[in-house]
Amino acid sequence: MRRILKIVGLLVAALVVLVAAFLVYVQVDGIPRYPVEKVTFKADPTPERIERGRKLAGVLCSNCHMNPTTRQLTGKRMVDAPPQFGVIYSPNITRHPTKGIGSWTDGELAYLLRTGVKRDGQYAPPWMVKLPHISDEDLASIIAFLRSDDAMVAASDQDPPGVTRPSFLTKLLCHVAFKKLPYPDHPIAAPPASDRVAQGRYLVFALDCYGCHSADFKTMNVAEPEKSMGYFGGGNTVLDLRGHRLQSANLTPDDETGIGRWSEHDFVAALRGGFRPDRTLIRYPMAPEPELSEAEAGAIHAYLRTVPAIRNYVPRDLPAPPGTTMTDGKQLYERYGCVSCHGGDGVGIADLRQASEHYPTRETLKAWIQDAPSIRPGTRMPAWRGVIREEHYEPLMDYVLHLGKEGS
C-alpha cells in the first residue's frame, strides 16, 4: 500500500510540475505565433464594393477602431472589452504605410480576417473579430473600402493612445482555446436574399452577433457558432463606456425572457433605430445598426425565430424614465441613456464635446437630437422625438453644451 501511495504521490507531483511548467511557458511565450501561408486574394475596388464595404465596416470595424474625436479608424482604448482580457488598444487600420495597413496586400488582409493571424505570424487575440464565415464578395468589399479614399480610412500617422497588455488569461486562452482558424479551401458565397432564414443565419455569423449574445466570450465557438454555449440566450457580461457591467440580451424566441413576442417590425426598428418596442434605449455596447437594410434586419429576425428558445431572464437594470419634475441636465443625460454612448465626459463612440461647433444654435442642436437620422442618414444617433419630454430638452442641451466647455 505504501508503495502504491508513493507512486501516486510521485505522479501527482510530476503532474503539478508539468502544469506549472506549462503555465510558465504560456506567460513567457505570450500570444502565440503561427507559420503564415501566402494566399491569393484580389479585392478590385469597384464603387459597389466600396459602398458595401463601408456598410460592413460600420458594423464590424467602427466600434473598436473609430477614434471618436478624429472620426478615423486610428484606434482607441477598448474600455468595453472584458477586463479579464487585459488592457486593450485597437490598432490604426487607416491607409498609412507604416502606422496603419497601407502596405498590406489584399491577401495578407484576407488571411488575417479569415484566420486571425497577422502577416508577421502573431495571432490576433479574441477581441479581434474573425470572419471565417463571411462570403468572398463581402470580404473583398471590406478590403476595398479599407483601401478607398473615404476620410475614415485616410492615411494617418496617429498611434493608438496606449500599448495593449494582454492578461495571463488571454495568453492561456490563445494557447488552449482560441487558435488559428483554417483558411478556406473553397469559395464562400452568401445565400440568396430570397432565402430569408439562410440570409439571416449568414448575417449573424458574418457580423459576429452570436459572440455577445451567447453565454460567455470564453466559450464561444467561432468555427461552429451554433455550438456556442447558450447560443443567443444572452447573459454574457459586457461593459459600457464607464466600465459598468451589463448583460447581453436574450435573442431567442422565448416568449417570457427573449424576443418571442416581438414582431418583425419591432425587431427591425430596435436593431436599426436603437429603441425597444417599449421605447427604452438599447444601451451600448449594443448600438443601432442603420447600415443594415430593413430586409437584412428582417432576415436576421426570421433566422432568430428558428433558434432553439432558451429561458434565461436577463435583467436590464435600467433607471426609471425621467419624471416631469426633473430639471437637472446631468440627471437627464444619465437617465435617458446618453451616457451609454457618449460616456461621462462626452467622449464615447462620438465626441459630444463638439456639439457647439457642429450645431451652433440651440435650434440646430435640438433638431439633431430629435431626428438625427433624417439629417445624416446612416448615423448611429437615434431619433429621440417622442421619447425625450419637451420640457427636458433645455436642461439636457445645457448639460451637453457644458460638456463642450469642460473639454475645451
Dump pLDDT digits (tens) for 232-271. Answer: 999 998 888 777 788 999 999 999 999 999 999 999 999 9
DSSP annotation of 241 reads T
| Mean pLDDT (the chain, rounded) | 88
CATH superfamily of domain region 47-176: Cytochrome c-like domain (1.10.760.10)
Residue 73 one-letter amino acid:
L
Residue by residue, DSSP assigns 285-339 as TS---TTS-HHHHHHHHHHHTTSPP--------PPPPPPTT---HHHHHHHTTHH
Q: What is the pLDDT, as a whole number, of residue 162?
A: 86
Q: What torsion do the CA atoms of 292, 293, 299, 304 make, to the nearest 10 degrees?
A: 40
Cα separation, 208 vs 310, in Å, equals: 19
Comparing 10-19, 21-30, 32-41, 55-64, the range with the smallest average pLDDT is 10-19
Q: What is the pLDDT, as a whole number, of residue 344?
A: 82
Q: Where in the chain is the domain with CATH 1.10.760.10?
A: 47-176
Q: What is the pLDDT, as a whole number, of residue 310?
A: 96
Share above pLDDT 70 across residues of the chain, in percent, rounded to a whole number = 92
Answer whether 116's CB lies under 8 Å from 180's CB: yes
Rg of the chain taking only CA atoms, in angstroms = 23
What would the pLDDT profile of 34-69 be if each residue is shown by its tens digit?
Answer: 999 999 999 999 999 999 999 999 889 988 898 887
Q: What is the pLDDT, as a whole number, of residue 186?
A: 93
Give pTM, 2 decimals. Answer: 0.84
Would you tell me which CATH number, out of the four given (2.40.128, 1.10.287, 1.10.760, 1.20.120), belongs to the domain 196-304?
1.10.760
Q: What is the CATH number of domain 329-407?
A: 1.10.760
What would the pLDDT profile of 126-179 be if each residue is shown by its tens digit?
Answer: 778 899 999 999 999 999 999 999 999 999 999 888 888 999 888 888 888 788
Does position 339 have pLDDT exceeding 90, yes or no? Answer: no
Q: What is the pLDDT, as a whole number, of residue 25?
A: 67
Mean per-residue pLDDT, 80-92: 87
Phi and psi, residue 178, nearest 5°: -95, 110
Q: How far is CA 186 from CA 133, 136, 182, in A?
A: 12, 10, 11
Q: What is the pLDDT, as a whole number, of residue 326?
A: 61
Q: What is the pLDDT, as a whole number, of residue 151?
A: 94
Mean per-residue pLDDT, 364-376: 93
